[in-house]
Amino acid sequence: MKGLKKIFKNIENYCIIDLCEGMCFIMKKVLTGLQPTGVITLGNYIGAIKQMVDMQGKYDSFLFIADMHAITVPQDSIELSKNIRSLIALYIACGIDPEKHTIFLQSENIYHANISWMLECNTYYGEVSRMTQFKDKSKKNANFSVGLLTYPVLMAADILIYDIDYVPVGVDQKQHVELARDIAIRFNKKYGDIFNVPDALITKSGTKIMDLQDPLHKMSKSSDNQKGVIRLLDDEKTIRKKIMSATTDSEMSIVFDPENKPGISNLINIYSSLSGLSLAEIENKFKESNYGTFKKEVADLVVGELSIIQKKYYEILNSDLLDKVLDDGRNKTLAIAKEKYELMKNKIGIHR
Ligand code: ATP
Ligand code: LTN
């Protein structure tokens, strides 16, 4: 009953569907964002976008481009702006229906950074400095920015502004969502019931797609080695070549064993995520096959899925649709965020 009361207290922030007179169904809210740091990878597609496609219509969904997160590390400005447009087109080409999601550009909503500051002042240095991603990324450049350190707090703002229930992310982002929870709980304790406390939603099989050449590390947009990364806009020949030359092992069995057979397990994971077959079903299907045959099947599946996405992508890249979608998203999210911002300012006491 207490939980129900809380939902109704925040009712203006929920999407309500009338089922029949006198009854309503409150949709849970989901939100996720991707950084426009390069053409997105098969890992991003499986770990983040596909989940959002599967969830569409069932949740009140927010999907954004985390361009302010992208500048926590050096970026080329021309490339960055190209990547932003490309990413919106890719979202839609991957099956994201703009009618069913609020799609926006983080930097166009000025409240994200403002709210992030108020959250930063309620976050401990010890909390952000122990984030695994910060430790990894700060090792790569001795002159790392302060933004790289406070990155997870901006991420908490992205989530908490909209009272999000679920945050679909790859497992690498779980720690950041947990920090957002901690910040929300602390803020609520100090200032009253302001934020919903979100949960991370991690995919089952394709949780983490690994680099094809170095299957001990995740497939990443900003990876230096192109050979291990499948990008959604790679052409067919390139995709096939990358998969056929993926690192495997000296055995011949197609068995899911990430510890001892990381390369083949990664390919099984990809196959499972795209085909919908379970790991056991795949092991069974390919029990008589050799690695070459299996790799070819994986390549066929990936090429089939990506060719549909690419066709749509080139159709919409230069259309007005993208600006219309972003304008709508900006207007809607500005209104929600302004309300949260004013509430926070009042509770904190920074007002006249
Ligand atoms: P960068 O190389 O710039 O850090 P990235 O490829 O790691 O980028 P992000 O923009 O950080 O990708 O992540 C976008 C989303 O995709 C996040 O939810 C993240 O968890 C998910 N994701 C990224 N890489 C993978 C992967 N290899 N497998 C599964 N999910 C992934
Ligand atoms: N940090 C995330 C992108 C991101 C995000 C978010 C994801 C920024 N804000 C809020 C989910 C919710 C990343 O690099 N993948």
Q: Where are the alpha helices (DSSP H) in the chain?
A: 2-9, 42-44, 50-55, 67-70, 77-93, 111-120, 125-129, 132-140, 146-160, 174-191, 236-244, 262-275, 279-285, 291-316, 321-348
User: How confident is residue 12, by pLDDT bands cut at 50, 70 and 90?
Assistant: very low
**98's tokens:** 């703009």
pLDDT of residue 24: 56
pLDDT digits (tens, 9 = 90+) for 289-307: 999 999 999 999 999 999 9
- Does the annotation count 261 as an active-site position? no
What pLDDT is attached to residue 10?
41
Euclidean distance between CA atoms 242 and 176, whole angstroms: 31
Which one of 221, 261, 295, 340 is the catalytic residue? 221
**Catalytic entry in 28, 100, 137, 345:** 137
Catalytic-labelled residue, pool 29, 50, 208, 218: 218
- For residue 26, the cross-strand partners are 16
For residue 13, pLDDT over 60 is answered with no
Query: Can you tell me the mean pLDDT for 156-175?
Result: 93
Which of 30, 46, 52, 69 is the pocket-test mutation for ligand 2 (most atoms within 8 Å of CB)?
69
| Residues 198 and 159: beta-carbon distance below 8 Å | yes
CA of 228 relative to ligand 1 center, distance in Å: 14
pLDDT tens-digit readout, 268-293: 999 999 999 999 999 999 999 999 99
Indicate the pLDDT class of residue 332, thresholds 50, 70 and 90. Answer: very high
Q: Is the CB of 159 under 6 A from ligand 2?
A: yes
Q: Is 51 in the pocket of ligand 1 (CB under 6 A)?
A: no
CB 210 within 8 A of CB 171: no
> At residue 6, does pLDDT exceed 70?
no
- pLDDT of amino acid 338: 98
Q: Is 32 in the pocket of ligand 2 (CB under 6 A)?
A: yes
Residue 18 has pLDDT above 60, yes or no: no
Residue ID of nearest Cα to ligand 2 atom 11:
32
Strand partners, 347: none
* pLDDT(17) > 80: no
Average pLDDT score over residue span 132-136: 95
The answer to whether residues 230 and 38 touch, using CB atoms and an 8 Å cutoff, is no
Average pLDDT value over all residues in the chain: 91
Residue 88 predicted with pLDDT over 70:
yes
Pocket flag, ligand 1, residue 167 (CB < 6 Å): no
pLDDT of residue 259 exceeding 80, the answer is yes
Q: What is the pTM of this model?
A: 0.85
Whose CA is closest to 266, among 34, 39, 42? 42
Model confidence at 186, pLDDT cuts 50, 70, 90, reads very high
User: Is residue 9 scored above 50 in pLDDT?
Assistant: no
pLDDT by residue (tens digit) across 191-220? 999 999 999 988 664 468 999 999 999 998
* Cβ of 173 below 6 Å from ligand 2: yes
